Amino acid sequence: MSKNICFIDGLEGILKYREIDVNELVDLPYDAISYLLIQGELPGEQELAEYSARLRGERKIDGRVVDVIRMCNFDIDAMEALRTIVSFMSQFDPDLNDNSPEGNMRKAVRLIARIPTIVATYYRMANGKEPITPDPALSHGANFLYMIRGSKPDALEAEILEKDFILSAEHELNASTFSSRITASTLSDLYSAIVSGLCTLKGPLHGGARTEVMTMLEEVACPENAEEFVLGKIERREKIMGFGHRVYKTYDPRGKIFKQLAKELAETKGDMHWYETAEAIENVAIRELVEKKGKPIYPNVDFYSGVIYKYMEIPPQLATSIFAIGRVSGWIAHCFDQYERKKIIRPRAFMLDEC
Ligand code: CMC
């Protein structure tokens, strides 16, 4: 792997996948970004067509996996089901113990293609509906919306979800990617490494923040309540979800793109309510935390993506698992890099003090 999988400049707010700025990547199909992360280069036309065809051909899940989803407790967050189902699914993968690059690539394609189907199947069953068969004619984003709704999504929503998957796809050594790498560093199989990533992503300080943002928007309810809500949080020394970042000390570049997309969606729907509520929270938080206290706490990737999900009527219980649909390509890119190194990651306990 010659090029860095990811580059972040936390002071300037720059994010690159394989040396290309995300702003240049966000208009491409998710499949192209997945290929870029895993193979190291953007695909040519023919390569993209072949990779997309492979992904689209692997979207269906085994009937035994569907049976286990049917047994899930549908009152809990979809992430609980997703980590169990991905682990269960490994038993039926003919390449489970083939850790060759070719075997790992076949598993990678199945994981990327099937995680959206698992999430959508869980969601349909949770709502007392039968699962929808994936449509190979649709893009990754459009197919996911189709599988949860049972009707073809409009072009703007499909396009925005595709961008959501792209912006969620990779972020260097974040907690879940580190977990996946640690598992891969023991030369354990790819499913185990992805399950590690899923378990870590679900925490509210990481991918779980997106769910919390959606709950917070419900609680704040309207722009007029933002002032009291944010001041109360700060007074009680509680975190405002969807704000702050360990690496970015300026506006998260993904947050900027999400904000623009949320605005576009709100305007198209002729309903500015959730956008204006979120913007009111942002304005008070920036005034109080950045301008008055000098803390670099801006909206992160989870803030305006939560607003977008509100407009798409995606329930909070699905928010983190949708993050996982995008992130799985990044986890896989890191696992492949780790497999090539053939070296176990084994930090010492004193290093915890530096985290
Ligand atoms: N709201 C209010 N104050 C905050 C926030 C926030 N969201 N984030 C940090 N602070 C304050 C914090 O209280 C502390 O203040 P003080 O120095 O007075 O005690 C200071 O900023 C440093 O905070 P920290 O928790 O030590 O910072 P960290 O680098 O350890 O944590 C973080 C980074 C993302 C976990 C944290 O900002 C946070 O908990 N944010 C809310 C949860 C969230 O949105 N998570 C998603 C992160 S982005 C997606 C991802 O990578 O998963």
CA-derived radius of gyration, the chain: 20
Answer yes or no: are the C-beta atoms of 297 and 243 closer than 8 Å: yes
Q: Ligand 1: which of 297, 301, 303, 331 to mutate, most ligand atoms within 8 Å of CB?
A: 297
Those residues whose C-beta lies under 8 Å from the C-beta of residue 139, and which sit 6 or more positions away, are 29, 30, 31, 158, 162
What is the Cα–Cα distance from 269 to 157, expressed in whole angstroms? 10
- Ligand 1, CB cutoff 6 Å, lining residues: 174, 205-207, 209, 239-246, 295, 297, 300-302
Q: Residue 171 catalytic?
A: no
The tokens describing 190, both together, are 């790819």
Q: What domains are defined for the chain?
A: 2-204+317-341 (1.10.580.10), 209-311 (1.10.230.10)
Question: Of 245, 252, 334, 337, which is the active-site residue?
Answer: 245
Per-residue pLDDT reduced to its tens digit, 209-263: 999 999 999 999 999 999 999 999 999 999 999 999 999 999 999 999 999 999 9
Q: Any idea which residue has 């720059």 for tokens? A: 14
Mutate to test the pocket of ligand 1, among 245, 250, 303, 323 (most ligand atoms within 8 A of CB): 245
For the purposes of burial, counting CB atoms within 10 Å of the CB of 234, is it exposed (0-12), middle (13-18) or buried (19 or more)? middle
What pTM, to 2 d.p., does this model score?
0.96
State which H helix or E strand residue 9 sits in: strand 6-9
Identify the DSSP state of 131. Answer: P
**125-181, pLDDT tens digit by residue?**
999 999 999 999 999 999 999 999 999 999 999 999 999 999 999 999 999 999 999
Active site residue 302: yes
Measure the CA–CA gap between 334 and 217, rounded to whole angstroms.
Answer: 34
Minimum CA distance residue for ligand 1 atom 37:
244
334 is catalytic: no
